[in-house]
């Protein structure tokens, strides 16, 4: 199969091709030729992908996906999550350990790595820090690392126990392992259903204060200062947390962080109709928090953007608000949401948050765009206007507030592992 991209802008920060408009020929999953638009690089072409604003970058990596398998296959499995990832432009995903059983043995890591090995989307297991992700007893982290776990985290659970966190930060130094913590003081968010603010007051819902995130970030940073090692905070959502991390980076601490793409799409005020598809943790916060997130993205305090893909069946969502579970599916929409709301970043900066930085944080190699290499790329159009509908969902679950949303920026497809996956709308239009 030969695919021609007659004219595509290459986004590959740090490499010589970055920002250049080129012609690219892909052959059987390899980057076959790179030349100038108008050059004759291939005699016969099976698919030609054309578009005024076509862009291409190293494949995107999502650092925070709940794949649900094993244990919750009715919500998502390791094939459906790959299809959702591909539709959203991700060629690699790091999956959370909060499955049933929890990912805490090398057998579990091996299982995750063994499923669908020929698929275009690669899965990287994140193993639990503590047994059953309960925050009490440590998992066998060296063993898990050797089996292929790319990082350690209790996933949706914060590592709440100070001494366990301290020991983890120390123990991971044995092999330079990474701790990913979701900062939330659970005692301060107990029974909370949304951000604590005037919106929650008006809805009679118990709030989850920004303080709960900020206290945990402050504590973790203090512990990190004491132990050394490195930490990554997941799904930062408050202005205070951004500022704490900014200051810690300035002090030279080995700290990185990400935010969920949907975090900048809604304020807490959007929950006025008790829509459970807006129930998410961390919760949608205030305007000042969203502005601080953009500032953090722009100055590099926030290194990466994640999908925080959390598939939930209808039975978990079509309920009274306080009984519904937290979570939004995010793989299909992450880039479009971020790009649509983008206030601060160039295309190149934005792609760095989805592609280069997640790999740096996880210590994974950045795919290069060079003739003769097996392609690991994402093709997208940052200017395309489209409306997200239920038909665009590839996940087994449909818990998203974005159905009917108008987006700017669309993923055309991915190429990885010798496989080509194009989004239906674009391929049917452009296939010859």
Partner 1 sequence: MSQLSVKHLLGIKNLTAGDIELILQTADTFKEVLNRPIRKVPSLRDITIANVFFENSTRTRLSFELAQKRLSADVINFSSSSSSVKKGETLLDTVNNILAMKVDMIVMRHSSPGSPHFLAKHIRANIVNAGDGTHEHPTQALLDSFSIREKFGGVAGRRVAIIGDILHSRVALSNIFALQKQGAEVMVCGPVTLLPRYIRELGVKVELDVRKALRWCDVANVLRIQLERQQIKYFPSLREYSLYYGISKAMLDELDKEILLMHPGPINRGVELTSDAADSHHSVILNQVENGVAVRMAVLFLLAQTG
Catalytic residues: 308
The piece of 158-166, 317-325, 373-381, 384-392 that touches partner 1 (CB under 8 A) is 317-325
User: How many whole angstroms separate alpha carbon 113 and alpha carbon 101?
Assistant: 16
Tell me: does residue 201 bind partner 1 (CB under 8 A): yes
Please check whether residue 393 is in contact with residue 270, taking contact to mean a CB–CB distance below 8 angstroms. no
Among 138, 203, 253, 403, binds partner 1 (CB under 8 A): 203
- Nearest alpha-carbon partner for 126 in 142, 100, 146, 145: 145
The piece of 44-52, 199-207, 369-377, 383-391 that touches partner 1 (CB under 8 A) is 199-207
Beta strands in 194-291 (DSSP E): 194-195, 207-208, 231-233, 255-260
Query: Using CB atoms within 10 A of its CB, is residue 44 exposed (0-12), middle (13-18) or buried (19+)?
Result: exposed
Tell me: does residue 318 bind partner 1 (CB under 8 A): yes
Interacting positions 272-301 with partner 1 (CB under 8 A): 273-274, 276
Please check whether residue 351 is in contact with residue 13, taking contact to mean a CB–CB distance below 8 angstroms. yes
Number of residues that bind partner 1 (CB under 8 A): 24
- Min separation Cβ 392 and partner 1, Å: 23
Interacting positions 151-190 with partner 1 (CB under 8 A): 190
Three-class SS state of 351: helix
The piece of 19-27, 51-59, 153-161, 195-203 that touches partner 1 (CB under 8 A) is 195-203
User: How many whole angstroms separate alpha carbon 293 and alpha carbon 259?
Assistant: 8
- Min separation Cβ 424 and partner 1, Å: 31
- Min separation Cβ 325 and partner 1, Å: 12
User: How many whole angstroms separate alpha carbon 147 and alpha carbon 44?
Assistant: 43
Comparison of 198 and 424: residue with beta carbon closer to partner 1: 198
Task: List, in order, residues 6 or more apart from 40 with CB less than 8 Å away.
Answer: none
Comparison of 116 and 321: residue with beta carbon closer to partner 1: 321
Tell me: does residue 38 bind partner 1 (CB under 8 A): no
**Sheet arrangement for strand 179-181:** 60-65, 90-95, 122-127, 151-152, 179-181, 231-233, 255-260, 304-306
- Min separation Cβ 321 and partner 1, Å: 5
Copy the structure tokens of residue 403.
């159905």
Comparison of 14 and 191: residue with beta carbon closer to partner 1: 191
Among 142, 198, 254, 374, binds partner 1 (CB under 8 A): 198
DSSP bridge pairs for 123: 93
Among 38, 204, 252, 365, binds partner 1 (CB under 8 A): 204
- Min separation Cβ 414 and partner 1, Å: 37
Comparison of 1 and 198: residue with beta carbon closer to partner 1: 198
Cα angle 33-124-60, degrees, rounded to a multiple of 5: 40
Task: List, in order, residues 6 or more apart from 100 with CB less than 8 Å away.
Answer: 70, 71, 72
Tell me: does residue 205 bind partner 1 (CB under 8 A): yes
Per-residue binding string, partner 1, 258-277, x by CB under 8 A, is: ---------------xx-x-
Among 40, 191, 365, 432, binds partner 1 (CB under 8 A): 191
Comparison of 117 and 204: residue with beta carbon closer to partner 1: 204
Rounded to a whole number of angstroms, the distance between the first and last alpha carbons of the chain is 13
- Min separation Cβ 271 and partner 1, Å: 9
Among 6, 58, 88, 207, binds partner 1 (CB under 8 A): 207
Sign of dihedral through CA atoms 45, 49, 55, 56?
negative
Query: What value does the CA radius of gyration of the chain take, rounded to a whole number of Å?
Result: 21
Comparison of 318 and 385: residue with beta carbon closer to partner 1: 318
Comparison of 142 and 198: residue with beta carbon closer to partner 1: 198
User: How many whole angstroms separate alpha carbon 94 and alpha carbon 336?
Assistant: 20
Comparison of 272 and 346: residue with beta carbon closer to partner 1: 272
- Min separation Cβ 274 and partner 1, Å: 3
Interacting positions 321-380 with partner 1 (CB under 8 A): 321-323
Q: How many CB atoms lie within 10 A of CB 63?
A: 31
Question: Which spans of this chain sit near partner 1 (rule: CB under 8 A)?
Answer: 190-191, 196-198, 200-207, 209, 273-274, 276, 315, 318-323
């Amino acid at each position: 199969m030969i695919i021609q991209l007659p004219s595509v802008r290459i986004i590959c920060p740090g490499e010589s091709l970055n920002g250049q408009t080129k012609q690219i020929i892909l052959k059987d999953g390899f980057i076959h030729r790179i030349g100038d638009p108008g050059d004759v690089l291939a005699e016969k072409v099976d698919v030609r992908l054309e578009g005024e604003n076509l862009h291409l970058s190293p494949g995107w990596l999502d650092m925070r996906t709940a794949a649900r398998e094993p244990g919750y296959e009715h919500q998502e499995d390791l094939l459906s999550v790959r299809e959702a990832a591909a539709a959203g432009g991700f060629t690699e995903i790091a999956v959370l350990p909060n499955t049933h059983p929890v990912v805490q043995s090398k057998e579990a890591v091996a299982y995750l790595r063994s499923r669908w090995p020929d698929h275009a989307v690669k899965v990287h297991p994140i193993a639990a820090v503590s047994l059953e992700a309960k925050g009490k007893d440590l998992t066998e982290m060296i063993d898990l690392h050797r089996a292929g776990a790319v990082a350690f985290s209790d996933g949706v659970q914060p590592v709440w126990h100070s001494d366990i966190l301290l020991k983890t930060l120390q123990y991971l130094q044995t092999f330079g392992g990474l701790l990913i913590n979701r900062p939330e003081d659970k005692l301060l968010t107990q029974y909370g259903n949304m951000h604590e603010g005037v919106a929650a007051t008006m809805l009679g819902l118990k709030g989850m204060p920004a303080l709960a995130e900020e206290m945990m970030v402050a504590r973790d940073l203090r512990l990190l200062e004491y132990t050394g090692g490195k930490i990554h905070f997941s799904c930062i959502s408050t202005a205070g947390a951004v500022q704490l991390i900014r200051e810690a980076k300035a002090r030279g601490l080995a700290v990185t962080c990400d935010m969920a793409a949907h975090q900048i799409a809604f304020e807490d005020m959007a929950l006025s109709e008790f829509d459970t598809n807006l129930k998410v943790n961390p919760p949608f916060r205030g305007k000042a928090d969203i502005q601080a997130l953009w500032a953090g993205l722009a100055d590099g305090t926030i290194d990466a953007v994640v999908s925080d893909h959390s598939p939930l069946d209808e039975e978990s969502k079509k309920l009274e608000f306080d009984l519904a579970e937290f979570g939004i599916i995010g793989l299909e929409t992450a880039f479009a949401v971020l790009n649509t709301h983008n206030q601060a970043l160039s295309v190149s900066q934005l792609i760095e948050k989805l592609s280069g930085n997640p790999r740096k944080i996880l210590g994974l190699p950045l795919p290069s765009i060079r003739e003769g290499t097996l392609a690991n790329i994402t093709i997208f159009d940052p200017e395309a206007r489209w409306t997200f509908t239920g038909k665009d969902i590839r996940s087994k679950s449909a818990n998203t507030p974005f159905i009917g949303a108008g987006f700017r920026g669309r993923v055309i497809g991915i190429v990885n592992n010798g496989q080509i996956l194009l989004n239906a709308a674009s391929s049917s239009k452009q296939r010859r």
